[in-house]
């Protein structure tokens, strides 16, 4: 992590990374210059030219595209004379769409501001959550009560997590208890715990809110995991756009050290476990766990072939437990209560709680903690109903990589199996809502462009296939090709799904293929 951190520090100090800076750093670290060039050219957070006096990043992806209007466009144009305005991929603030960052600081919703010179971020709202066992008490009590016996702690964690049925909340849905058990059983040392806080997919911003509101649950989950598997080091891999969340998390880590929860005698266990933050140099692909590991090892963030999996060969080739923000927070909740309590939180036959982010054509976009099994139409009502009272047309239940569903699917519960059964997936729990009147072909094309833009380029199917798909879609939109050429997309999508190294290429055409399936009338003729 030393090289990427030094590159980040130098860019922060000097504004950009010119040839002289890279040569100087190559000598300092005794690494080849080409290695630094390879990193700087790969990660979007680095720049080779001087920064302007003021810099504005404006999101170009699907939710912000839906929320743009003449007023927000006019305000953006006001900045052109005084700032460099750059369109970028999702900023993780879809509840504030159209989202922007001014000089690397997030803004409030642009449509609420009359003066671009005064866009201070709002204060963090304190909310109460059912999953927080410390609503009226001091945090970290569970790990402190269990840490005197590492064996008992490990057994308690694995038993309760397994019995609860908790599955990974980052999208893959792998059983959490099973993952902890597998890594704990590995005899190799050292081991590592990594919290994947690099959510970068359009429509997904729940982990940002959890880090704002419940950082103590995330840290306690990491400590429980570290003591369970025998790790001494934990890393929160945080996307670089989450500047406010980084400051909140830094304060929480400092407080945990003061309380003795982190450090050489973590939670009174007699074992060392500490947590550090690594700020990502950017790129959606870094949310893929093996690409994340490559970045932590000062390499280009390109996914690895699997197997082996991180649980046996992770960071520096050692056993590594990777869960996302919500998974660690919920693990703390389950261990603090028990599996039976967790199961009782769901509705009908569904177990547990879920953080859901809702964006798009709703009155009040945001993040809600809901019982697992809450239906899509109920979620829309929680968000104030459909914007301007327009009827529901379509939705994506699990973010940009999930399949489009129609209004008739709105009674589907938010649940892994239920969403799979209707032909989509819960994914991260990122509900994007589209009302009647939306051009679904244009929105699906925007999503495919996102995956094309964010492809790391390592594997040919994804690199070439996503570009080919965008070309076909743009030509169809411009009426410069026959509509029947779009019939190539299913075959192309099947090729990407079967031959791409990682999930990005495997799902890149999901939005357009599912849109064409459910809404054939939207296809340009």
The answer to which of 13-27, 123-137, 296-310, 452-466 has the lowest mean pLDDT is: 123-137
CATH architecture of residue range(s) 440-522: Up-down Bundle (1.20)
Q: What is d(CA 358, CA 364) in angstroms, rounded to the nearest whole number?
A: 8
pLDDT, tens only, 363-412: 999 999 999 999 999 999 999 999 999 999 999 999 999 999 999 999 99
Q: How far apart are CA 463 and CA 154, in angstroms?
A: 43
Say if domain 141-341 classifies as CATH 3.40.50.300: no
Would the pLDDT of 222 be above 90? yes
Contact 461, 495 (CB under 8 A): yes
Q: Residue 117, CB half-sphere, CA atoms under 13 Å: how many?
A: 1
Cut 0.75: pTM above it: yes
pLDDT above 80 for 70? no
Domain ranges of the chain: 2-42, 55-112, 141-341, 345-435, 440-522
The string of DSSP letters for 54-78 reads SEEEEE-SHHHHHH--HHHHHHHHH
Residue positions counted in the chain:
525
Percentage with pLDDT > 70 across the chain:
93
Give the integer Cα–Cα distance in Å for 264 and 371. 38
Report whether pLDDT(76) > 70: no
β-partners of residue 369 are 355
User: 230 in the Ramachandran plot: left (φ > 0), alpha (ψ -120 to 50) or beta?
Assistant: left
* Torsion angle of C-alpha atoms 494, 442, 395, 448, degrees rounded to 10: 40
- Assess whether pLDDT exceeds 70 at residue 47: yes
Task: Give, for 446, the enclosing helix (H) or strand (E).
Answer: helix 440-454
55-112 and 440-522 have identical folds: no
Render pLDDT for 284-314 as a digit per residue (tens, 0 to 9).
Answer: 999 999 999 999 999 999 999 999 999 999 9
d(CA 122, CA 273): 34
Omega before residue 196 within 30° of 0, cis: no
For the domain spanning 55-112, the CATH number is 3.40.30.10
- The CATH topology of domain 345-435 is Ubiquitin-like (UB roll) (3.10.20)
């Amino acid at each position: 992590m030393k090289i990427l951190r030094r590159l980040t520090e130098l860019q922060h100090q000097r504004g950009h990374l010119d040839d002289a800076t890279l040569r100087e750093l190559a000598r300092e670290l005794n690494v080849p210059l080409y290695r630094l060039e390879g990193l700087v050219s790969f990660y979007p957070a680095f720049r080779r030219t001087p920064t302007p006096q003021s810099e504005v990043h404006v999101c170009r992806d699907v939710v912000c595209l839906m929320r743009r209007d003449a007023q927000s466009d006019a305000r953006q144009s006001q900045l052109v004379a005084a700032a460099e305005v750059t369109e970028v991929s999702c900023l993780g603030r879809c509840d504030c769409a159209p989202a922007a960052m001014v000089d690397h600081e997030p803004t409030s919703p642009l449509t609420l501001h009359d003066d671009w010179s005064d866009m201070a971020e709002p204060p963090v709202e304190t909310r109460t959550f059912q999953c927080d066992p410390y609503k009226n008490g001091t945090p970290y009590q569970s790990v402190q009560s269990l840490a005197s016996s590492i064996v008992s702690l490990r057994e308690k964690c694995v038993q309760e997590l397994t019995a609860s049925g908790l599955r990974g909340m980052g999208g893959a849905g792998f059983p959490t208890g099973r993952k902890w058990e597998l890594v704990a059983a590995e005899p190799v040392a050292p081991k590592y715990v990594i919290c994947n806080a690099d959510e970068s997919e359009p429509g997904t911003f729940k982990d940002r809110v959890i880090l704002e509101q419940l950082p103590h649950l995330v840290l306690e989950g990491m400590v429980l995991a570290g003591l369970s598997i025998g790790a001494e080091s934990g890393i929160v891999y945080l996307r670089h756009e989450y500047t406010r969340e980084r400051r909140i998390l830094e304060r929480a880590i400092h407080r945990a050290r003061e309380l003795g929860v982190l450090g050489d005698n973590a939670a009174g266990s007699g074992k060392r476990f500490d947590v550090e933050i690594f700020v990502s140099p950017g790129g959606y692909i870094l949310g893929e766990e093996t690409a994340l590991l490559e970045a932590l090892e000062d390499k280009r963030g390109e996914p690895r072939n699997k197997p082996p999996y991180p649980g046996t060969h992770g960071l520096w080739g050692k056993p590594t437990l990777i869960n996302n923000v919500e998974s660690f927070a919920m693990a703390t909740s389950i261990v603090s209560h028990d599996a039976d309590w967790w199961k009782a939180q769901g509705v009908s036959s569904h177990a547990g709680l879920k953080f859901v982010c809702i964006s798009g054509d709703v009155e009040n976009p945001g993040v809600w903690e809901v019982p697992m099994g809450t239906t899509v139409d109920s979620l829309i009502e929680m968000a104030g109903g459909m914007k301007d009272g327009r009827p529901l047309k379509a939705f994506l239940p699990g973010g940009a990589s999930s399949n489009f569903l129609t209004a008739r699917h709105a009674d589907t519960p938010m649940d892994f199996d239920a969403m799979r059964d209707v032909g989509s997936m819960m994914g991260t729990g990122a509900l994007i809502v589209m009302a009647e009147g939306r051009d679904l072909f244009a929105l699906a094309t925007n999503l495919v462009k996102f995956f094309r833009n964010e492809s790391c380029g390592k594997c040919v199917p994804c690199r070439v296939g996503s570009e080919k798909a965008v070309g076909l879609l743009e030509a169809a939109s411009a009426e410069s090709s026959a509509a029947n050429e779009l019939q190539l997309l299913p075959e192309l999508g099947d090729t990407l799904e079967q031959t791409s190294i990682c999930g990005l290429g495997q799902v890149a055409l999901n939005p357009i293929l599912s849109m064409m399936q459910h809404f054939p009338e939207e296809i340009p003729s």
